[in-house]
Amino acid sequence: MSGGGQVERLHAVAAAAPARLADRFGARATRLIRMAEAGLPVPEALLLPTELIDRVAEEGVALLEPLLAPHLATLGDGALLSLRASPPDAAWGGPPAILNLGINYAGLTALAARVGERGALDLYRRLIQGFAIGVAGLDAEAFENIVLDQAKRAGVSGEGELDVPALERVVAAMRQLYEEEMEAAFPQAPAEQLTAAIAAMARNWRSPTAEILRTAKGAPADAGLALIVQRMVLGIGPDVSGAGIAHMVDSRSGAPRLWGRFLEQAQGQDALMGSRTPQLLTEAERWAEGQSTPSLEERDPEAPPALERHGAAVARLLGDVHSLEFTLEAGTPWLLDAVPARRSARGAVRIAVDLAEAGAISREDALLRVEPQHLVEHLHPQIDPAAPRDVIGSGLPASPGAATGPIVFTPDAALAAAAQGAEPILVRPETAPEDIRGMHAAAAVLTARGGMTSHAAVIARGLGLPCVVGASDITLQLRDRTLTTADGRRFGEGDVITIDGTAGEALEGAPPTIPAEVTGAFATLMDWADAARTIGVRANADTPQDARQARDFAVDGIGLCRTEHMFFDAERITAMRQMILSDAAEARQQALDRLLPMQRGDFIELFEIMRGLPVTIRLLDPPLHEFLPHGGEEMAALATAMGLPVEQVTARAEDLAEFNPMLGKRGVRLGVTMPEIYEMQARAIFEAAVAVNGKDSAPVVPEIMIPLVSANREVELIKSRIDAVATQVEAEAGVAPDYHLGVMVETPRAALRAADLARSCTFLSFGTNDLTQMTYGLSRDDAGRFMRDYVNQGVFPEDPFHSLDLEGVGELLLLAAARGRGARDDLTLGLCGEHGGDPASIRFCKLAGFDYVSCSPFRVPIARLAAAQASLLARRETA
């Protein structure tokens, strides 16, 4: 057997190949081996590898004695020993530690010479109690009661205050109880205590309950257990002795800060058990918490700096920040274990960047360590995780962040509240395009209906507003402006609530929040991500405000400008409505002539903001009736503005209504049947480009994109019209406008016919919102109502509008990419559905050879990090 079944000395095992060590000795022992080799103060120990413990479980404990005997002396004559489990992964659990093995009656005097009489008795009491419960399996409560009875009798509050006679009585009572229960005396021989404890741990590990618990946490059924027999350093004894835990970073911010808990005259986890109030490590901590008990720093000024030095050495050695479990033996700190530091999502960024800057890990590793989704914690204010939450409604987490404010039930009320300086929460059944101005005025949005790509969700993400959609457990009574929760509580206009768009919940009142933070470590990580990524990240930006936000997040361009979002301004919508409602070509042209300069102005602004970067403009997409007035009052006002009878306006609006507008006259179908609109847009784009290009260098080459294509003939028709407009603009301006034409692949047919399409254009951009909707035959606006059930019952692994369905929609993407590039090898491929901000979807796009993804501006940092990770992993896979 190659070392199989042998006992090994901790300080004699070489730390090379930690992965192999972990298989044999478990995670804890591997850490200790590495720490010991690096010269950190780790007490001597014997390691019992997994194969040896397997043998003990099968052959019995007798085989251990000859194996242990030659080594025990190396731990020191008469040393007290601890026995600890070291499973391959700490998360799999394991039997609790047994401490103070080796004490017996005969040795008590010698022990008392070391740690005092009281200390010796306390240690013996702990051994009997721990052994009786952990090894003999006796009832813990009966032993605790012995301590409580004696404390009561002595009139003291706990075991820490028991004097020598009281402890003598405790020891005697515990030994007697043990003897009665076990019908045998408490074992006196140290070797017998140790082997019995080892056998018990081996049995415990193999018990069906332990096995079920760990396999539920992902452990293989045959996972082995290694054990550590370690010389006890004594936290009970002379001078400043005790045990505690030292944390090296602030768990919320990740910034370096020594803090923790310590308890004098204690051992193991005593400081965390709550039987006595623990001391704090530093004076700064003690002042901050207003604690009167002296801190460790006050008791032993050298201990905290020593712990800090050890913490820094462990971070360099293990490549991550760890908290140290330590024992102070007469003023000397010893390390019993190092456990990875707990950290918030924000803390993880700071820790990863600090480690890379200190040279403990590479930049690549720092990038791979941060979960991209967790960056939302930096980008928006968040509810303090420690705050109590009174949830009044839950739905889909459509747009992250937290905002608090008074409820309003209409977009107009949102505008009015904002005008008075409030930050209202807009609560609606769902939102529609005409609600955009109200949404702009709101601090957050809550809708009772809708899915992850419903109007409210898409717009809120674009605006960076916290948003919860599909909160089907609230009921809205819009007439009396109230909201009723599932448990019958009522909230009216002006009542203050908080939207937690990260968790998908609405909360009563104003819980404390943590502000956004996009500088410092976050900015550094973003720079590293940009240097590492080999796939572009663009933004979906419709307005100058979006474009500025996107530039602030360092995008590679605009991948989707939804031009319909440029028409909701009061003046524009009137001109648009006149255009839609005019029967006569002349009147329609007049309305378009009014819209042209506005559109041109929009594009000039976008081009200027994005100077030097590509800007993809999508021609008008939604069904025209979405622009029409709703309700009698609005109809009447429009009829007056147009000088037409209201009946005529109403009749025309009814004419335009469709049974299924999502599949009706929208997208390119509008362009084919009402070409003037696209011609106006093309002209506005070209004139804007000419105006901007006249100013200075870096020419703008607009990318014009045609939505909802299903046949190449549609592209040919639109292209010939755009070319004609380009020729006209050239004749007027004296410069030939250059442009790239692209097609949005949003229908399964477009994906299948990608080769044809690629011959007519230079780029394909996958609109995976519509493509998902059409591939599944699942309404993006209605799916939110049942998506939770579908995901909970495992019908879909995830909401396919949120994370790309790789098996179905993904196959269409792969097929279209291959067919498109087969027809044109320099074809640019992008994705601009909401999936462009989803890390798993971005990884797919990278593997599929896409050139860029495009997402809402506030998801850009997440996409940049996910793109960097996808690029690094792809590089590693091919290396």
Minimum distance, C-beta of residue 767 to ligand PEP, in the bound complex (Å): 3
560, interface contact from ligand PEP, Mg ion, none, CB < 5-8 Å by kind: ligand PEP
Residue with smaller CB distance to ligand PEP, 724 or 815: 815
Asked if residue 333 binds Mg ion (CB under 5 A), the reply is no
Q: Is the dihedral of CA 68, 70, 71, 76 positive or negative?
A: positive
- Pair of tokens at residue 734: 């004296």
Whether 455 sits among the annotated catalytic residues: the reply is: yes
For 357-361, which contacts have Cβ atoms below 8 Å and span 24 or more sequence positions? 357/524, 358/315, 358/316, 359/316, 360/315, 360/316, 360/319, 360/320, 361/319, 361/320
The residues with which 477 forms a beta bridge, in sequence order, are 482
Residues 130-159 that bind Mg ion (CB under 5 A): none
Residue 216-245 contact track with ligand PEP, rule CB under 6 A, x = bound: ------------------------------
Residue with smaller CB distance to ligand PEP, 248 or 750: 750
From the list 345, 459, 460, 349, the residue with the least C-alpha distance to 403 is: 460
* In the block, residue with structure tokens 């298989």: 23
The residues with which 227 forms a beta bridge, in sequence order, are 48, 85
Minimum distance, C-beta of residue 550 to Mg ion, in the bound complex (Å): 19
Minimum distance, C-beta of residue 658 to Mg ion, in the bound complex (Å): 16
Which CA distances in Å does 356 have to 345, 367, 851?
17, 10, 29
Minimum distance, C-beta of residue 607 to ligand PEP, in the bound complex (Å): 21
Minimum distance, C-beta of residue 430 to Mg ion, in the bound complex (Å): 18
Contact 511, 383 (CB under 8 A): yes
| Span of 182-190, 220-228, 631-639, 760-768 interacting with Mg ion by CB under 5 A | 760-768
DSSP tally for the chain: helices H, then strands E:
34, 31
Residue with smaller CB distance to ligand PEP, 365 or 626: 626
Instruction: Out of 832, 853, 860, 866, name the contact with ligand PEP by CB under 6 A.
Output: 832
Minimum distance, C-beta of residue 562 to ligand PEP, in the bound complex (Å): 5
First to last CA, the chain: 36
Minimum distance, C-beta of residue 616 to ligand PEP, in the bound complex (Å): 11
Those residues with Cβ within 8 angstroms of residue 725's Cβ, 6 or more apart along the chain or in another chain? 679, 682, 683, 686
Residue with smaller CB distance to ligand PEP, 383 or 457: 457
State the catalytic residue, choosing from 247, 310, 322, 455.
Answer: 455
Instruction: Kindly tell me the burial class for residue 748, based on how many C-beta atoms sit within 10 Å of its own C-beta (0-12, 13-18, 19 or more).
Output: middle
Residue with smaller CB distance to ligand PEP, 397 or 830: 830
Residue with smaller CB distance to ligand PEP, 120 or 617: 617
* In the block, residue with structure tokens 């009736």: 625
Asked if residue 746 binds ligand PEP (CB under 6 A), the reply is yes
CA-CA distance, 500 to 503, in Å (whole number)?
Answer: 6
Count of residues touching ligand PEP (by CB under 6 A): 10
Residue with smaller CB distance to ligand PEP, 26 or 857: 857
CA-CA distance, 313 to 249, in Å (whole number)?
Answer: 14
Minimum distance, C-beta of residue 746 to Mg ion, in the bound complex (Å): 5
Residue 806-825 contact track with ligand PEP, rule CB under 6 A, x = bound: --------------------
Minimum distance, C-beta of residue 832 to ligand PEP, in the bound complex (Å): 5
Minimum distance, C-beta of residue 462 to ligand PEP, in the bound complex (Å): 10
Residues 710-749 that bind Mg ion (CB under 5 A): 746
CA-CA distance, 688 to 50, in Å (whole number)?
Answer: 72
Residue with smaller CB distance to ligand PEP, 749 or 875: 749
Residue with smaller CB distance to ligand PEP, 662 or 823: 662
Give residue 120's Cα distance to chain centre: 49
Minimum distance, C-beta of residue 742 to ligand PEP, in the bound complex (Å): 12
Q: Which residue is nearest to Mg ion (CB)?
A: 770
* In the block, residue with structure tokens 């500025």: 548
The residues with which 402 forms a beta bridge, in sequence order, are 500
State the DSSP string of 203-237. Answer: HHHHSHHHHHHHHHTT--TT---EEEEEEPP-SSS
Q: Is the dihedral of CA 223, 224, 230, 234 positive or negative?
A: positive
| Span of 208-216, 518-526, 582-590, 762-770 interacting with Mg ion by CB under 5 A | 762-770
725, interface contact from Mg ion, ligand PEP, none, CB < 5-8 Å by kind: none
768, interface contact from Mg ion, ligand PEP, none, CB < 5-8 Å by kind: ligand PEP
Residues 541-560 that bind ligand PEP (CB under 6 A): 560
Asked if residue 399 binds ligand PEP (CB under 6 A), the reply is no
832, interface contact from ligand PEP, Mg ion, none, CB < 5-8 Å by kind: ligand PEP
Those residues with Cβ within 8 angstroms of residue 19's Cβ, 6 or more apart along the chain or in another chain? none
Those residues with Cβ within 8 angstroms of residue 34's Cβ, 6 or more apart along the chain or in another chain? 15, 18, 317, 318
The three-class DSSP label of residue 48 is strand
Residues 571-590 that bind ligand PEP (CB under 6 A): none
From the list 103, 110, 152, 155, the residue with the least C-alpha distance to 125 is: 103
From the list 857, 868, 866, 862, the residue with the least C-alpha distance to 555 is: 857
116 Ramachandran zone, left/alpha/beta (phi>0; psi -120 to 50): left
CA-CA distance, 457 to 801, in Å (whole number)?
Answer: 11
Q: What is the dihedral of CA 567, 570, 573, 575, to 10 degrees?
A: -120
872, interface contact from ligand PEP, Mg ion, none, CB < 5-8 Å by kind: none
Residue with smaller CB distance to Mg ion, 235 or 767: 767
Instruction: Out of 28, 346, 562, 802, name the contact with ligand PEP by CB under 6 A.
Output: 562
Interior angle at CA 643, CA 642 and CA 645, nearest 5: 105
Contact 140, 133 (CB under 8 A): yes
Minimum distance, C-beta of residue 441 to ligand PEP, in the bound complex (Å): 23
Strands 703-706 and 740-745: parallel
CA-CA distance, 196 to 771, in Å (whole number)?
Answer: 65
From the list 745, 794, 799, the residue with the least C-alpha distance to 776 is: 799
447 Ramachandran zone, left/alpha/beta (phi>0; psi -120 to 50): beta
Whether 322 sits among the annotated catalytic residues: the reply is: no
Residues 749-778 that bind ligand PEP (CB under 6 A): 767-770
CA atoms within 13 A on the CB side of 241: 18
833, interface contact from Mg ion, ligand PEP, none, CB < 5-8 Å by kind: ligand PEP
Asked if residue 767 binds Mg ion (CB under 5 A), the reply is yes
Asked if residue 841 binds ligand PEP (CB under 6 A), the reply is no
Instruction: Out of 833, 839, 857, 861, name the contact with ligand PEP by CB under 6 A.
Output: 833
Residue with smaller CB distance to Mg ion, 33 or 705: 705
State the catalytic residue, choosing from 561, 761, 832, 845.
Answer: 832
Instruction: Out of 54, 687, 770, 834, name the contact with Mg ion by CB under 5 A.
Output: 770
95, interface contact from Mg ion, ligand PEP, none, CB < 5-8 Å by kind: none
Strands 332-340 and 763-766: unpaired
Count of residues touching Mg ion (by CB under 5 A): 3
Minimum distance, C-beta of residue 770 to Mg ion, in the bound complex (Å): 4
Residues 603-632 that bind ligand PEP (CB under 6 A): 621
| Positions that interact with Mg ion (CB under 5 A) | 746, 767, 770
Catalytic residues, by residue number, are 455, 832
Which residues make up the interface to ligand PEP (CB under 6 A)? 560, 562, 621, 746, 767-770, 832-833
